[in-house]
Structure 1
Amino acid sequence: MKVAREPVVQAGLKLLNEVGLEGLTLRGIAAELGVKAPSLYWRFKSKQDLIDEMATEVLAGLVPGLVNDGPPKGWRAGCLNFSLALRAALLRYRDGARMVGGSHMRDGSLYQPMERILEAFQGEGIAPSDATACLGTVYSYVIGFTLEQQAVLSPTGERDPRYALEAREQRVDAERFPLTRSIGADLFDGYDERFERGVRMIVDGFAASLARPDQRPK
């Protein structure tokens, strides 16, 4: 029996929240749908093939919000809005950042909002190559930041015992590494504030590099 793409992808995203990326299997998804596993292989050749489709579905969900808000009010606002929307989408799913990072997108759904952001760069005289360098850095930052956050906190906000602040303080020698020991709370708390601050630092740094020809992205 052939199974349509959409039910399989939705079942995969549901199961992802229950078992995580490592526990996700085509056999488990087939059981969730009430079909036999071989019926999925005619559509998805491998687990990675399915993950690519799931990642595409997650990123496609960004489009309505980014487009319906109208053109970004400048490239800085465009970068911030994109980063916030992407992080929120990744956090909706257990291992969301691991799933999306490195996956192959199956359609061009993100091209429309991306075009609007690039137009905002262009409107301020910034070349596409420079704009791409900035957006690529922001995208990588979002994936990496969210990956680390999801390693520490569960989808329900519970902290992995390995990252308990008390345990870290015991591991780090206060006499030898006083500064390192003091930043524990900064590393594993206040994620929302730290995330936005990081994006603004990237954007500000990019803007400063444009003012210095020797520092411009190649």
Structure 2
Amino acid sequence: MCRMARPRKPLLSRDRIVEAARALVDAEGLTAVSTRRLAAELGVSGPSLYNHFRTKDEILEAVADSVSAQVDLSMFDPADERDWRTALHDWAVSYRAALTLHPNIVPVLAHGPGRRPAGLRLADAVFGAMVDAGWPAAQATSIGALLRYFVMGSALGSFAGGFVDDEAAYDPADYPHLGQAHLLADRQQRIDERAFDTGLRALLDGLALQYEQVATPAA
């Protein structure tokens, strides 16, 4: 009797599930994810997902962590020669880039790293680098939180995208300073990136002033 050869790779894995769930979240939002929908997308039976994840929430946590894993942390490596301010700037830019590719998962990420390995590595790298640079531990914690709030907020929505491409919507009699507001949506990416850069530099300027007062620079 001829037996069918077993597939060389398993039909299902954690990585495949996370990849499919991330694609669903990106395309349709968090509410699109269910074990039934994922099983259909992967061409497997629903119960087989439970061999890898116990609940849908666990899947979403893994999706969130997969996005955190896309953030560059090389600037915090002890061998890297960037100063703390440059490192924070470059990390924030990388962080925002990852989140803007996957904005629908930001509400899950906003709950904190919890037990997510990549999220914890991210938090550990930022805190450790700030302490090594001479920041007191309390301020180092605040810096990590501050940058996290700023980056996530910028990724959640677009200021420019909140205006409609209709000049008539902004009657000068009602809104005397919004005569060009109908042009914002068409320039959304450029405006949002410039706003992020302006805010990031302002934050870092303020932190640099605090650093002079409270930090003990490393030898």
TM-score, normalising length: structure 2: 0.73
Match in the other structure for 1:133: 142
CA RMSD of aligned residues (A): 3.5
Q: Is the contact between residue 30 and residue 104 of structure 2 (CA under 8 Å) also seen in structure 1?
A: yes
8 Å CA contact retained: 1:86, 1:142: yes
> Do 1:62 and 1:89's aligned partners in 2 also have CA atoms closer than 8 Å?
yes
Contact 1:59 1:110 in 2 (8 A): yes
Corresponding position: 1:83 with 2:92: yes
Q: Is the CA contact 1:90–1:97 (under 8 Å) kept in the aligned structure 2?
A: yes
Cα distance in 2 for residues equivalent to 1:163 and 1:70: 45
In the TM superposition, residue 63 of structure 1 has moved relative to its aligned partner by 5.0
Provide, for residues 52-108 of structure 1, a one-character-per-residue CA deviation record: whole Å limited to 9, x for no partner: 111111112325655679536122112111211111111223524334222654333
Moved more, 81-90 or 20-29: 20-29
Q: Distance in 2 between matches of 1:183 and 1:142?
A: 27
DSSP-derived class of the 2:116 partner: coil
The letter of the residue matching 1:164 is V
Larger radius of gyration: 2
**1:141-190 deviation per Cα after TM superposition (whole angstroms, max 9, x unaligned):** 111110013x97xxxxxx6xx632436x61x55345434x3684399551
- 1:93 matched to 2:102? The reply is yes
Structure 2: distance between partners of 1:201 and 1:195? 10
Percent of pairs with identical residues: 22
Give the gaps of 5 or more residues in structure 1: 153-158, 214-218
| Paired residues for 1:153-164 under 5 Å | 163-164=163-164
1:144 and 2:153 are equivalent in the alignment:
yes
For 1:199 and 1:183, locate their aligned partners in 2 and report how far apart those are by CA, in whole Å. 25
Size of the alignment, in residue pairs? 201
Query: Does 1:174 pair with 2:175?
Result: no
Whether the 8 Å CA contact 1:83–1:138 is kept in 2: the answer is yes
Show the counterpart of 2:207. Answer: 206
8 Å contact from structure 1 (residues 67, 113) kept in 2 = no
Task: Work out the CA distance in 1 between the residues paired with 2:54 and 2:149.
Answer: 28
User: Which residue of structure 2 aligns with residue 190 of structure 1?
Assistant: 191
